[in-house]
Amino acid sequence: MGVKVGVLALQGDVAEHIAAFRDALSDRPGSSVVPLRKAADLAGLDALAIPGGESTTISRLIVKNGLYEALREFEGGVFATCAGMVLTADRVDDTRVRPLGLIPMRVERNAFGRQVDSREALLEVKGLAEPFRAVFIRAPVATEVGPGVEVLARIPEGIVAARSGRHMAFAFHPELGGDLRLHRMFLQGLEV
């Protein structure tokens, strides 16, 4: 059976998410990946990717485009990266961001500092046999998670990968680099 994934297409690395999910779904006939810009686009989706970008900008655009309540009520799985991790949290260190409250966690924006402090690292991720090359770009970290949230990866600065039910959030950019193991892990979680 095919899977339909929407990618929040308001700002950020939308094209990279679309390409990564298309590749991850290439062996599932009837699957599709579509950009999402308005609440009506959520109809029929099994999953939603919230990409990296600038979290305050994406937060404002979610409200401006009438998506806030629809995203909060979305019943499918959410795959959130970087700014998406900030938006899925229920507590954020910046009052300019209106979090969606999908995952009980506290997130600190730009935990790594400025753009020049961005980096790559090999991460041990729970559920993966081999380390994952993670690209951190002005990345957030979760400093605290609530009950039922599974920590998948941690670095000295904080939690950088977490799962809560069908939702997964990453401080880094798994859509970059061609390693689709986390996308496939997420898609398998939709079937549970």
**Catalytic: 16?**
no
Q: What is the CA radius of gyration of the chain?
A: 15
Mean pLDDT along residues 13-42 = 95
Residue 82 known to be catalytic: yes
pLDDT in tens, 179-192: 999 999 999 998 75
**What is the model's pLDDT at position 192?**
58
Q: Which of 16, 108, 175, 183 is catalytic?
A: 175
* Catalytic residue selected from 17, 167, 173, 183: 173
Find the catalytic residue in 82, 108, 167, 183. Answer: 82
Q: Decide if 130 is catalytic.
A: no
Q: What is the per-residue pLDDT for 115?
A: 54
Q: What is the DSSP letter of 54?
A: -
pLDDT tens for 52-79 read: 888 999 999 999 999 999 999 999 999 9
Q: Which residues contact 64 (CB under 8 A, 6 or more apart)?
A: none
Using DSSP, state whether 56 is helix, strand or coil: helix
CATH number at 50 reads 3.40.50.880
Residue 43's nearest CA partner among 10, 76, 85 is: 76
Number of domains, the chain: 1
Under DSSP, is residue 96 helix (H, G, I), strand (E, B) or coil? coil
**Which range marks the domain in which residue 175 is found?**
4-190
Q: Is the pLDDT of residue 119 over 80?
A: no
3-state secondary structure of 30: coil
- What the block records as the tokens of 147 is 């009950």
> Which residues make beta-bridge pairs with 134?
121
